[in-house]
Amino acid sequence: MNHFIHGVARAITETFDLPDPIVEIGSYQVEGQEAIANLRALLPDRQYTGVDMRPGPGVDCVANVEALPLNTGSVGTVLALNTFEHVKCFWRGLDEVHRVLRPEGALVLSTPFHFRIHQFPHDYWRFTPAAYETLLERYPSKVIGWHGAKNRPANVWAVAFREARPAITSEQFARYRSLLARYAGEPDTTWTRRLRYRIASLMCGRGPFAGYLDRNQWDSVCLNGPAQIPLAA
**154-192 residue pLDDT tens:** 999 999 999 999 999 999 999 999 999 999 987 766 657
Mean pLDDT, to the nearest integer, of 77-105? 97
Give the whole-number percent of the chain exceeding pLDDT 70: 87
Mean pLDDT, to the nearest integer, of 1-14? 95
Which residues are CB-neighbours of 13 under 8 A, at least 6 positions away?
A: 42, 43
Which residues are CB-neighbours of 58 under 8 A, at least 6 positions away?
A: 24, 27, 28, 29, 37, 38, 40, 50, 52
The confidence score (pLDDT) of residue 77 equals 98
Mean pLDDT, to the nearest integer, of 64-68? 98
pTM of the predicted model as reported, rounded to 2 decimal places: 0.88
Q: How high does pLDDT run on average in the chain? A: 89
Helices 3-15 + 170-183 axis angle, to 10 = 150
The confidence score (pLDDT) of residue 196 equals 66
Q: Where are the domains of the chain?
A: 3-189+218-231
Q: How confident is the model at residue 11 (pLDDT cuts 50, 70, 90)?
A: very high
pLDDT at 227 over 60: no
Homologous superfamily of the 3-189+218-231 domain (CATH): Vaccinia Virus protein VP39 (3.40.50.150)
